[in-house]
Amino acid sequence: MILSFHPCLEADVQVVLGSRKVSEEDVRLMERAEAVILPQGCSRDLWEASVRAGPPVFPFYDMRFRYPGKRGQSLLFERYDLPHPHTRRWDSVAHFRAVQENRGALPHGLPFMAKQDQEHEGRGVFFVEDGRSLEAALEALERKERSGLEGFITQEYVPTGAEVLRVVLMGERMVDYWKRPADPSQVITTVGRGAVIDHEGSPELREKGRTLTRSLGHKTGINLAAMDFVFSPGREGEGREPLLLEINYFFGRRGLGGTEAFYRLLYEQVRRWLQERGLDPGAVKLL
C-alpha cells in the first residue's frame, strides 16, 4: 500500500492533514505502508512520524529538519565540504555586537551580506557597505528578533553582478536557470523582484552548478529542493567555480514553466522513485 499525504498526488490511501496534527490512525497507516509520499509543506511532526514508522519516504527531508534556516545550512555546507562563501552564524544582534566589540573588527571585509535566519526569496537580506548600512541592518534584524525571528548570518559578498544560478533537484531530474537582475544596479536578485529568467546562458557554468547539485544530493540525500549558486570571480589561469548560497525547500515555479509543469515533473519523479523500489508506479495519480 502506497500512502500519500500530498494533496495533489493520490495513492492507494491519501490523507490530507491540512493544519491538524498527525494522529494515531495516521501512524498506523504509515506502519502498514510500503512507501510514504509527503507534501512540500511537511511539518517536523509529520516527517519524524513517517521516519519512525519505517517505510521509504519521498521527499527525503532529513537535512531540512536537521539543519534548519540559513545558520543550519551554513553548518551543513561545512560538514559536507560543499563550497560556499565564508559565513558566520549569530544568535542575536547582541551576540554580534559583543563579538565585534571584543575583536575590534568586522567578521568580513566590506562589503558583506547580512541575512535573517528564517526568511527566503530575498526577504531579510541586507547589503552592508559601510558603518551606516551596517547599523541599519542591525536595527532591522533587532526588529525581527522582537517579532520572534531570531538569529542571522553574515556572509562574504561575492561580486557577480547579482546573477544567481538556480538548480532545482527533483528526484533524478534537474532543471537549471539563471536569475538575472532586471536593473543592473540591483545587488539582490529574486524572481519576486522582477528577475529575468534565462535557461540558455553560460552553459559551462550551468553544468558546474548541476555537478555540484548532483554531489550535494549524493552526500546528503536531498531529492526535492532548489539550490542557489553564485560563481567566484575568475582569476588568470583559473575558471569560475560555483559557491552555494542556500537551499530552498519551498521555491517559486516560474522558472520551471509554472505550477502545472512543476506538478507534472514531481509526478514523474515520484513514479520513478517507486519503480526503483520495486513498487507499482501506477498506484499514484496526479490530481
Q: Enumerate the domain spans of the chain.
A: 2-61+261-286, 86-156, 164-248
Nearest alpha carbon to residue 73 among 1, 142, 152: 152
Treating both helix axes as pointing N-terminal to C-terminal, what angle do 44-53 and 24-32 enclose, rounded to 10 degrees?
40
pLDDT of residue 193: 60
pLDDT of residue 242: 95
Q: What is the DSSP letter of 192?
A: G
**What architecture does CATH give domain 86-156?**
2-Layer Sandwich (3.30)
DSSP-derived pairing of the beta strands 35-37 and 2-4: parallel
pLDDT of residue 187: 61
Between CA 179 and CA 163 the distance in angstroms is 6
Contact 145, 153 (CB under 8 A): no
pLDDT of residue 237: 47
Please indicate, yes or no, whether the overall pTM of this predicted structure exceeds 0.75. yes
Radius of gyration for the chain, computed over Cα atoms and rounded to the nearest angstrom: 21
Q: How far is CA 249 from CA 4, 136, 207, 226, in A?
A: 19, 29, 21, 6
Q: How far is CA 243 from CA 87, 129, 216, in A?
A: 12, 21, 12
Between CA 136 and CA 77 the distance in angstroms is 28
pLDDT of residue 160: 81
pLDDT of residue 235: 55
Between CA 237 and CA 233 the distance in angstroms is 12
Between CA 117 and CA 153 the distance in angstroms is 7
Q: What is the DSSP letter of 234?
A: P
DSSP assignment string, 140-181: HHHHHHHTT---EEEEE---STT-EEEEEEETTEEEEEEEE-
> What element of type H or E holds 112?
strand 112-116
pLDDT of residue 119: 84
Per DSSP, the chain holds a count of helices (H) and strands (E) of 8, 15
Q: Which residues of the chain have pLDDT under 50?
A: 236-237
pLDDT digits (tens, 9 = 90+) for 100-154: 988 888 999 999 999 999 987 678 999 999 999 999 999 999 999 999 999 999 9
Between CA 181 and CA 161 the distance in angstroms is 8
Place of cell 499514484: 284
Nearest alpha carbon to residue 54 among 78, 71, 30: 30
What superfamily would CATH give domain 164-248?
Answer: ATP-grasp fold, B domain (3.30.470.20)
